[in-house]
Amino acid sequence: MKRFVLILSLVLLCVGNLKSQTITSGTWKNGLKELVAVPDSMTYNEFLKLQRKVTWQRIFASAFIPGYIHFYADHMKVGWGIIVGRLIGASLMVYGLLDEINYAGTLNFYSVVTEKDQIEARSQRNLTLFITGMAINVLGFAIDWARGDWLISKERDEVLYKYGLKLRAKVSPKVSFIGGEPIYGVNFKIKF
């Protein structure tokens, strides 16, 4: 039995090593989609601007790392501004929660009521602080995502315009048959 397990382990190890030595040139495997002729006068920074794009992984990371997309786009001042704004929002949220716990002994913002069934002013203030902090954080995330994506595409377009790199567009007709009925369409592909 030990010999069988040893032989099986060696076979799996060898097969795994053989598979790991293959080199694929798929577009999702490498950072550069394809090697294109780069003009001699293009700087490395301009080349990096052509390669940048906002993916869903970067959007997800920017939800938890304030200013991530702006730091990726090499706009440090705006990235630091987003960090400061989101830290202020988070501190407002934490202060509202902690003050409500200390004041009312619970996280329910409407738990403290007077004899007249009115919400205490302090509890209402804590709710306002919490909602304001949450709005600041969501706004910081939205600014990081939307403005960062806009900056990256703007810089990429500027480099494309400067060097006259052409977009390669391909339009092709498409016919599909679903249930015997022909469905006509058009495919658009744009590469640069």
Range of weakest confidence among 51-55, 102-106, 165-169: 165-169
Residue 115 in any domain: the answer is yes
pLDDT on residue 136: 95
- The label of the residue with tokens 């990726």 reads 72
Q: Which residues pair with 71 in a beta bridge?
A: none
pTM equals: 0.61
Residue 156 in any domain: the answer is yes
The tokens for 6 are 């040893």
Q: Is 126 exposed, middle or buried (0-12, 13-18, 19+ CB in 10 A)?
A: buried
In this prediction, residues 74-84 reach a mean pLDDT of 94
* For residue 25, pLDDT beyond 50: no
Residue 95 in any domain: the answer is yes
Residue 151 in any domain: the answer is yes
Please name which of 93, 74, 95 lies closest in space to residue 140, comparing C-alpha atoms: 93
Residue 176 in any domain: the answer is no
- The 8-class DSSP code of residue 165 comes to P
Identity (one letter) of the amino acid at 143? I
Identity (one letter) of the amino acid at 5? V
Distance between CA 191 and CA 157 in Å, rounded? 13
| Total count of domains within the chain | 1
Mean of per-residue pLDDT scores for the chain: 76
Residue 124 in any domain: the answer is yes
Contact predicate 52/72, CB 8 Å: yes
Residue 159 in any domain: the answer is yes
Domain containing 150 equals 55-164
Residue 97 in any domain: the answer is yes
Q: Between 149 and 163, whose confidence is greater?
A: 149
Distance between CA 88 and CA 97 in Å, rounded? 14
Q: Is 132 exposed, middle or buried (0-12, 13-18, 19+ CB in 10 A)?
A: middle
